[in-house]
A = this chain, B = another copy of it.
Amino acid sequence: MSDQRVVRPTPISGFPEWTPQVRAVEQRWLDHIRAGFESFGFASVETPSVENLDVLMAKGETSQEVYTLHRLQADAEDDSDAKLGLHFDLTVPFARYVAQHFNELTFPFKRYQMQRVWRGERPQEGRFREFTQCDIDVINVDSVPLHFDAELPRIVHRVLAPLDIPAWTLSLNNRKVLQGFYEGLGIEEPIAVIRAVDKLHKVGDEGVRGILLSEGLSGEQADACLRLARIKSTGTDVADRVRELGVTSDLLEEGLQELTFVLEDLADVPGVVADLSIARGLDYYTGTVYEASFDDDPGYGSICAGGRYEDLAGQFIRRKLPGVGISIGLTRIFAKLVAEGRIEEGPKCPTDVLVVVPGAERRADALRTGEALRARGFDTEVFHSTAKVGKQIQYASKKGIPFVWFPPFDDEGSHEVKDMAAGEQGPADPATWSPGA
């Protein structure tokens, strides 16, 4: 080895990687989330990791976060890869998917998608450059019933509850309320106000007020915007509290009715609150918006997010294809729990039983015993050499394998099994044995 260059491997910042014991837990979470999504009738979809840049950029705004691909040794003339970028979320690829496969799908189309996404951000706590999102979305032709806006947080709640994560709250708002309110105030560029209010948690009331004034709002208008943003309610009185501010517009009223419908439908789901400061940065949302964060660490960032979009798929096809979706930030949640030591690690390997190989001449027998146990559903290793039996038992002990199986050591012998935790050993039949018996 000494004549070789040693390239010391170091973790790449922003790209998480787990030990097998932690990965086992992550895999269990992924299985649990997937089963939860399927239990509500959502179908699995995966899309390529890349999209054409014009698809990724069709809604602008996110350009700085996109990773583009380049072949290391591309010919100067060959620009076939030049337009490919890694997807930064799963909503834009899904909208493209629906438009592209329009004739192959049955609507309303309900899909879940659990994949890695990439953002070329500067890594910091809770921010990764590669991370896994678990999304559910519904896209329909022409219109999506408002019931879905309520169903999605309900599903996320059902799915996350058994995972025993720290207490969290789902904040709910409706873009129409914000836009309608600003229009009712006579503000000409409501989107600029939405962006400013979205910074409330970072820059505070005075910071937002300053931005709004610099956008040309009067002091009175800015104060009204801030009064709206301060409304927060777990009850369904939220519409009345907005109406008390004395601003009116058709869009505002439509938004309040939608928000109230969703809130009422979710009345039995704990940890849901209407928060009129929530806007969501991505500009493709047009109605309901969701954002969830940990109660004891709201600054960590959103652990779920989503909302309703009216024309995200419509940009790819001359059909109206509105949708609503929500995304669980799996890596963000999981990585925090790992970092804080709140994950109970899984086993080093899935093995239930290690079959001992008494000697080279009995290896074929041991392999058959392994097959018999596997056929009955036990994850089974047959020891990988003919080392001394003591060494084989030691391997099971080191790996945390709960049972060691001793096949007959000679033609008159019989099978025995050792319970490593209990330290007990006794006769057993591979065709009938079970751990509890």
Give A194 to B327 CA distance when docked, in angstroms. Answer: 50
Whether A399 and B20, one on each chain, are in contact in the complex, defined by CB atoms closer than 8 angstroms, is no
Whether B9 and A55, one on each chain, are in contact in the complex, defined by CB atoms closer than 8 angstroms, is yes
* Closest-CB distance, A366 to chain B (whole angstroms): 11
Residues of B within 8 A of A15 (CB): 48-50
Task: List CB contacts (< 8 Å) of A174-205 with chain B.
Answer: none
Give A11 to B50 CA distance when docked, in angstroms. Answer: 11
* Closest-CB distance, A321 to chain B (whole angstroms): 10
Residues of B within 8 A of A12 (CB): 48, 50-52, 84
- Say which residue of B47, B120, B317, B349 sits within 8 Å of A41 (CB atoms): B349
Whether B384 and A151, one on each chain, are in contact in the complex, defined by CB atoms closer than 8 angstroms, is yes
Residues of B within 8 A of A145 (CB): 384-385
Mark each residue of chain A from 396 to 434: 1 if its CB lies under 8 Å from any CB of chain B, else 0: 001101000000000000000000000000000000000
- A379 and B41 in contact (CB under 8 A), knowing A71-B67, A81-B67? yes
Q: Among A20, A54, A97, which residue has the most Cβ atoms of chain B within 10 A?
A: A20
A221 an interface residue at 8 Å Cβ cutoff?
A: no
- A49 and B116 in contact (CB under 8 A), knowing A9-B100, A20-B111, A100-B9? yes
Residues of B within 8 A of A52 (CB): 10, 12
- Say which residue of B20, B65, B72 sits within 8 Å of A67 (CB atoms): B72
- Say which residue of B18, B47, B70, B350 sits within 8 Å of A46 (CB atoms): B18
Residues of B within 8 A of A374 (CB): 39-40
Copies of the protein in its oligomer: 2
Whether A317 and B86, one on each chain, are in contact in the complex, defined by CB atoms closer than 8 angstroms, is no
A295 an interface residue at 8 Å Cβ cutoff?
A: no
Whether A72 and B81, one on each chain, are in contact in the complex, defined by CB atoms closer than 8 angstroms, is no
Give A56 to B316 CA distance when docked, in angstroms. Answer: 37
A340 an interface residue at 8 Å Cβ cutoff?
A: no
Task: List CB contacts (< 8 Å) of A51-85 with chain B.
Answer: 51-55, 58, 63-74, 81, 84-85
A24 an interface residue at 8 Å Cβ cutoff?
A: yes
Give A337 to B311 CA distance when docked, in angstroms. Answer: 36
A96 an interface residue at 8 Å Cβ cutoff?
A: yes
Give A18 to B46 CA distance when docked, in angstroms. Answer: 8
Whether A315 and B349, one on each chain, are in contact in the complex, defined by CB atoms closer than 8 angstroms, is no
* Closest-CB distance, A420 to chain B (whole angstroms): 15
Task: List CB contacts (< 8 Å) of A355-393 with chain B.
Answer: 363, 374, 378-382, 384-385
Give A55 to B11 CA distance when docked, in angstroms. Answer: 12
Segment of A101-109, A211-219, A280-288, A296-304 engaged in the interface with chain B: A101-109
Give A1 to B311 CA distance when docked, in angstroms. Answer: 8
Give A48 to B18 CA distance when docked, in angstroms. Answer: 10
Whether A27 and B44, one on each chain, are in contact in the complex, defined by CB atoms closer than 8 angstroms, is yes
Which residue of B is nearest A34, CB measured?
B27
Residues of B within 8 A of A147 (CB): 363, 384-385
A32 an interface residue at 8 Å Cβ cutoff?
A: no
Whether B19 and A104, one on each chain, are in contact in the complex, defined by CB atoms closer than 8 angstroms, is yes
A232 an interface residue at 8 Å Cβ cutoff?
A: no
* Closest-CB distance, A17 to chain B (whole angstroms): 6
Mark each residue of chain A from 307 to 321: 1 if its CB lies under 8 Å from any CB of chain B, else 0: 000010011111110
Whether B43 and A24, one on each chain, are in contact in the complex, defined by CB atoms closer than 8 angstroms, is yes
Give A53 to B16 CA distance when docked, in angstroms. Answer: 17
Residues of B within 8 A of A9 (CB): 55, 96-97, 99-100, 316-317
Which residue of B is nearest A147, CB measured?
B384
Give A265 to B318 CA distance when docked, in angstroms. Answer: 61
Residues of B within 8 A of A70 (CB): 67-70
- A5 and B315 in contact (CB under 8 A), knowing A48-B16, A379-B38? yes
Task: List CB contacts (< 8 Å) of A1-30 with chain B.
Answer: 1, 4-12, 15-20, 23-24, 27
A234 an interface residue at 8 Å Cβ cutoff?
A: no
| 5 interchain residue pairs of minimum CB distance | A41-B381, A71-B120, A15-B48, A41-B351, A145-B385
Beyond known contacts A7-B315, A81-B120: 11 more, CB 8 A cutoff: A6-B315, A7-B58, A9-B97, A10-B100, A11-B100, A19-B101, A23-B46, A41-B401, A67-B81, A68-B69, A138-B384
